[in-house]
Amino acid sequence: MEMANRIFKRKIYDKLLKWKAERAGKTAILIQGARRVGKSTVVEEFAKREYLSYILIDFSSCAKEVFDLFNDISDLNHIFVRLQLAYGVSLHERQSVIVFDEVQKQPLARQAIKHLVADGRYDYIETGSLISIRRNVKDIIIPSEETRINMYPMDYEEFRWALDDTTTIPLLRSIMEKPQPLGAAHRKLMRDFRLYMLVGGMPQAVNEYLETNNLSNVDAVKRDILALYESDFYKIDDSGTLSMLFNAIPSELNKNASRYQVSSVIESGRTERLIEHIADLKESMTVNMAYSVTDPNAGMSFYKDLNRYKMFLADTGLFVTLAFRDKDFTENVIYQKLWNDKLSTNLGYLYENVVAQMLKAEGNELYYHTFPSESGKHNYEIDFLLSRQNKICPIEVKSSGYKSHSSLDAFCAKYSNRILTPYLIYSKDMLKERNVQYLPFYMTMFL
| Structural domains present in the chain | 3-150 (3.40.50.300), 156-446 (no CATH)
Percentage helix, strand, coil for the chain under 3-state DSSP, each rounded to 5: 50, 20, 35
Residue type present at position 138: K
Distance CA 203, CA 10 (A): 10
Rounded to 10°, the helix 185-199/168-177 angle is 120
Task: Report pLDDT for 47.
Answer: 98
Task: Compute the distance between CA of residue 313 and CA of residue 57 in angstroms, rounded to an integer.
Answer: 30
Per-residue b or e along 235-248, where b marks 16 or more CB atoms closer than 10 Å to that residue's CB: ebbeeebbbbbbbb
* pLDDT, position 4: 47
Predicted local confidence at residue 260, as pLDDT: 86
Q: pTM (2 decimals)? A: 0.93
Helix (H, G, I), strand (E, B) or coil at 350: helix
Give the distance, in angstroms, between the CA of residue 54 and the centroid of all CA atoms in the same chain: 28
pLDDT for 400-443, tens place per residue? 767 778 899 999 999 999 999 999 999 999 999 888 999 999 99
What is the signed CA dihedral for 45, 48, 50, 51, rounded to 10 degrees?
150
Tens digits of residue pLDDT in 15-27:
999 999 999 999 9
Q: Which of 159, 224, 204 is nearest to 354 (CA)?
A: 159
* Alpha-carbon distances of 321 from 222, 244, 356, rounded to whole Å: 7, 16, 17
How confident is the model at residue 2, as a pLDDT? 41
* Residues paired with 99 in a beta bridge: 56, 125
The 10s digit of each residue's pLDDT in 328-356 is 765 556 777 777 777 655 677 889 999 99
10 Å CB burial of residue 196 (0-12, 13-18, 19+) is buried
**Share of residues in the chain with pLDDT > 70 (%):** 94
